[in-house]
Structure 1
Amino acid sequence: MLNETLSAMILPAARILKQKPSIWVEINHAVAKYKPVNLGQGFPDILPKQHVLESLTMLGKPDVSPFLHQYTRSMGHPRLVNVLSKLYTSFLRCDRKLYGESGSLQVDSFGPDREIDPLKEVIITVGAYGSLFTAISALVNPDDEVIIMDPSFDCYTPMTVMAGGVPIYVPLRPQLDDGEELISDCWKLDIKELESKITSKTKVLLLNTPHNPLGKVFNREELESIADVCIRHNLVCISDEVYEWLVFPPNHHIKIASLPGMWSRTLTIGSAGKTFSVTGWKLGWTIGPANLIQAMQLHQQNTVYTCPTPLQEAVARSLEIELPLLNTHESYFNEMCALIEPKGRNMVKKLNEIGMIAVRPTGGYFLVADISKLHVPSNELDKNDSLSYDVKFNNWMMQNKGVSAIPMSVFYSTSNQHLGSKYLRFCFFKEDSTLNSAYEILKTW
């Protein structure tokens, strides 16, 4: 009895008690209970490319080096950081013309003749989640402010708070001209509003392109405006680019680190899980200037230390196969884009047919849809007034229709939740059979 009393008196750290329960825990529980067609969570139900699977299974053969099953270098397996260096060097090089025109920014730019140093400018982490947490923890001091665009991936805020930082939110708002197609790129960042939120305490700006949950791809003009703000206010940009290979033509993915003056202040985050559709492997990476990568290394070596060697070896082998195929029809990245984009367009069509107003994405594998005009018995949604409309709608749809999505309000800060309360996020990177099952259910609405 005494031990139980003492145990009840022991409280977790205050910074942990401030955290809200994860939406993913709640969704997992509800999906397990109601067994809907799950279009909410962002993972494919499609097998990875054969050469990716073989890159892992061959490591189970008796003739491989025993050291591939032991600890590897803490900043990243040598084979993997080397191929990432080769892959990203050309993408991060500052355009030669822009580089020449920006003499004052050259020292902070990734020059057109430079190479990424695989041993100093790349770090491998436990998923892109690990990259985000390590970067934020390594950079943010107590009371430092971090700019987060609403809506945002839901881990940005808790990671900032756990590092002692203060999240500052700037919303993306839809700007649609009459007759214009409703696409994700209609959601715009007001640069003047962004600038108004910056103070002497602002340290970091978090960027996500292609954007989750909106499916927006930031264009060059938008990125140049954001870069200008970062440079003038001496901000570090953490650029979450895990959906970099899923940008639908005619759009192009532009890395903000490749713009004049941005290399020295940008950490670019990628993901093996999103690159090869192996989210369960939980490998990510960050590429950036040596001083910022070193700060991340100091954090990682005293937390997780290193990442699984066999998985790093398998990802390295997979990238080595893809590297010479870049920009060809044989490239898995081009193949994946060609596979996914029609799924997104078809989902927009199907959701519109039942009365939702779907937003066509220009990248990633999510889209959002306005549910406000879809009829639901009002008495069914009035049972819990403490919940946002989109949360109640999704709960009702899961239980009564057998399809689940993610309520958009969970991607917003408390002050901006009303901006997402009439939207749901859907994942369209699923087998056609999965998607068709959902459409068959929804068309009876």
Structure 2
Amino acid sequence: MTDAFIAARLREYAGPTIFSEMTALAQETGAANLGQGFPDSDGPPELLDAARDAIARGMNQYPPAIGLPALRGAIAARRADDHGVSYDPDHEIVVTAGATEAIAAALIGLCDPGDEVIVFDPLYDSYSACLAMAQVRRVPVLLEYDGTRFAFDPDALRRAVGPRTKVLLLNTPHNPTGKVFDEAELELIARLCVEHDLIAVTDEVYEYLVYDRVRHLSLAALPGMRERVLSISSAGKTFSSTGWKVGWACGPARLVGTVRTVKQYLTFGTGTPLQAAVAVALTDCMPWVEELRASLERRRDLLVAGLRAGGITTYPSHGTYFVQMDARSFGSEDGQALCRALVTEAGVAAIPSVALYDDKAAGRHLVRLAFCKDEDLLSRAARRLAGHARAARPL
């Protein structure tokens, strides 16, 4: 695509994403794909059966623009049970085409051109594109590894707030670092939001996929925050159905109304039978989700153990599908170059984390691996990576 056919603010986003690029390379070469974050297996049988049943019952036309009532009710019940936050399903919940649409609609609807949005760096790639569409400026706050975990400098966060700051965009559990923001960090974020009258948009799509007895806390559940937080999640990660693109946003009517206004002119409404099935899953399939969480924790441990046995440095991941490894274990400072080499030389596809960093120097040496894969594939990939790392290191 040439510059002549795309707006200047979106030129840097033209062409395929790094995820599409690495997945295509994996398919071309037969490499083990630990790049794009999608699971190898389907969601719970009850979810799939409910979708087939909904199709058979004729639920194949437009849903209400705000989502099926049954799904909105199930989302409200889930948020109340899991986070202690009550929402009116008729006015404070909207169903979207995945969490990505909810985030895009929120940023486009809440911000005026020239406003500023605080983000934590690294950030999932769609955030930057959505901010560009909204014509707002992103203000990154770096997450740095402090020897035990990825953390941010509280003073850096305070300095990030300016007269044009409108929104703080928070992803927890965090992709790609695997960080789960703790209560003290969330309390600081909450205080800043209240002090500066900021709106918080929280991407919580990995809310149930947390490990090591770490607990995910929703920012909206903190005192004084319900009325200024738009909480976003989806069925894709929770029920291993990433292709369904059924997401939602919960919050006070004034914020949810903004998302509704924008999304009705984006997709209006999608996936009627899939929405019906997700309503069933949120009600009946949470034990399956706990089994998924435990399985992912085992798979993370399997991959990490295999990498460390080969002398590869990895970083703690307490949530999501992902763990980061250090390219310097392969004798390279350049994670992007390493990822391109690994596809053909080690038969493993990965994502260079630098693609998700605003501060390119901070992420240059990091590589993101997805562990939401079959255990045999993870074991095979770990052996290949360990062997490649050993061969790359000087004797």
How many angstroms does 1:249 deviate by? 3.6
Scaled by the length of structure 1, the TM-score of the pair is 0.83
Distance 1:404 1:362 in 2: 22
Task: Give the structure 1 partner of residue 62 of structure 2.
Answer: 71
Task: Give the counterpart letter for 1:71 in structure 2.
Answer: Y
Secondary structure at 1:303 match in 2: coil
- Structure 1 segment 222-241 matched on structure 2, within 5 A: 222-241=185-204
Q: Do the aligned partners of 1:144 and 1:165 also contact (CA within 8 Å) in 2?
A: yes
Aligned residue-pair number: 386
Distance 2:74 2:289 in 1: 16
Task: Give the structure 2 partner of residue 407 of structure 1.
Answer: 352
Q: Do the aligned partners of 1:344 and 1:360 also contact (CA within 8 Å) in 2?
A: no
* Residue 304 (str. 1) matches residue 267 (str. 2): yes
Deviations 1:34-59 (A, max 9, x none): 22100111011022221111111223
Task: Give the counterpart letter for 2:237 in structure 1.
Answer: K
The 1:10–1:47 alpha-carbon spacing in structure 2 relative to 1, beyond 3 Å, is closer
Distance 1:371 1:24 in 2: 18
Identity %: 34
Task: Give the structure 2 partner of residue 15 of structure 1.
Answer: 9
Q: Do the aligned partners of 2:209 and 2:293 also contact (CA within 8 Å) in 1?
A: yes
Task: Give the structure 2 partner of residue 441 of structure 1.
Answer: 384
How many angstroms does 1:360 deviate by? 2.6
Match of 1:24 among 19, 40, 62: 19
How many angstroms does 1:10 deviate by? 5.9
Task: Give the structure 1 partner of residue 49 of structure 2.
Answer: 54
How many angstroms does 1:363 deviate by? 1.1
- Structure 1 segment 283-298 matched on structure 2, within 5 A: 283-298=246-261
Distance 2:92 2:31 in 1: 44
Task: Give the counterpart letter for 1:442 in structure 2.
Answer: L
Task: Give the structure 2 partner of residue 379 of structure 1.
Answer: none
* Residue 87 (str. 1) matches residue 58 (str. 2): no
What's the RMSD between the two structures over aligned residues?
1.7
* Residue 196 (str. 1) matches residue 159 (str. 2): yes
Distance 1:421 1:347 in 2: 22
* Residue 159 (str. 1) matches residue 130 (str. 2): yes
Distance 1:365 1:312 in 2: 24
Task: Give the counterpart letter for 2:362 in structure 1.
Answer: L
Task: Give the structure 2 partner of residue 106 of structure 1.
Answer: none
The 1:396–1:9 alpha-carbon spacing in structure 2 relative to 1, beyond 3 Å, is closer
The 1:224–1:71 alpha-carbon spacing in structure 2 relative to 1, beyond 3 Å, is same
Task: Give the counterpart letter for 1:159 in structure 2.
Answer: C
Secondary structure at 1:69 match in 2: coil
How many angstroms does 1:366 deviate by? 0.4
Task: Give the structure 2 partner of residue 363 of structure 1.
Answer: 319
How many angstroms does 1:320 deviate by? 2.1
Distance 1:36 1:352 in 2: 21
Q: Do the aligned partners of 2:303 and 2:379 also contact (CA within 8 Å) in 1?
A: no
Distance 1:36 1:253 in 2: 33
Deviations 1:89-138 (A, max 9, x none): 23343xxxxxxxxxxxxxxxx6xxxx310011101111111111111111
Distance 1:269 1:251 in 2: 20
How many angstroms does 1:9 deviate by? 10
Deviations 1:144-203 (A, max 9, x none): 001111111111111101101001111011112xxxxx5xxx111111111112110001
How many angstroms does 1:81 deviate by? 0.3
* Residue 396 (str. 1) matches residue 332 (str. 2): no
Distance 1:10 1:140 in 2: 27
- Structure 1 segment 201-280 matched on structure 2, within 5 A: 201-280=164-243
Q: Do the aligned partners of 2:71 and 2:275 also contact (CA within 8 Å) in 1?
A: yes
Q: Do the aligned partners of 1:175 and 1:188 also contact (CA within 8 Å) in 2?
A: yes
Task: Give the counterpart letter for 1:417 in structure 2.
Answer: K
Moved more, 156-165 or 31-40: 31-40
Match of 1:343 among 299, 316, 319: 299
The 1:340–1:28 alpha-carbon spacing in structure 2 relative to 1, beyond 3 Å, is closer
Match of 1:34 among 8, 21, 29: 29
Q: Do the aligned partners of 2:173 and 2:180 also contact (CA within 8 Å) in 1?
A: yes
If you compute each CA radius of gyration, which structure gives the higher value, 1 or 2? 1
Task: Give the structure 2 partner of residue 4 of structure 1.
Answer: none
Distance 1:438 1:90 in 2: 39
Distance 1:9 1:17 in 2: 6
Distance 2:369 2:50 in 1: 31
Q: Do the aligned partners of 1:143 and 1:165 also contact (CA within 8 Å) in 2?
A: yes
Distance 2:27 2:266 in 1: 32
Task: Give the counterpart letter for 1:47 in structure 2.
Answer: D
- Structure 1 segment 96-135 matched on structure 2, within 5 A: 115-135=86-106
How many angstroms does 1:261 deviate by? 1.2
The 1:11–1:335 alpha-carbon spacing in structure 2 relative to 1, beyond 3 Å, is closer
Q: Do the aligned partners of 1:125 and 1:284 also contact (CA within 8 Å) in 2?
A: yes
Secondary structure at 2:329 match in 1: coil
Secondary structure at 2:355 match in 1: helix
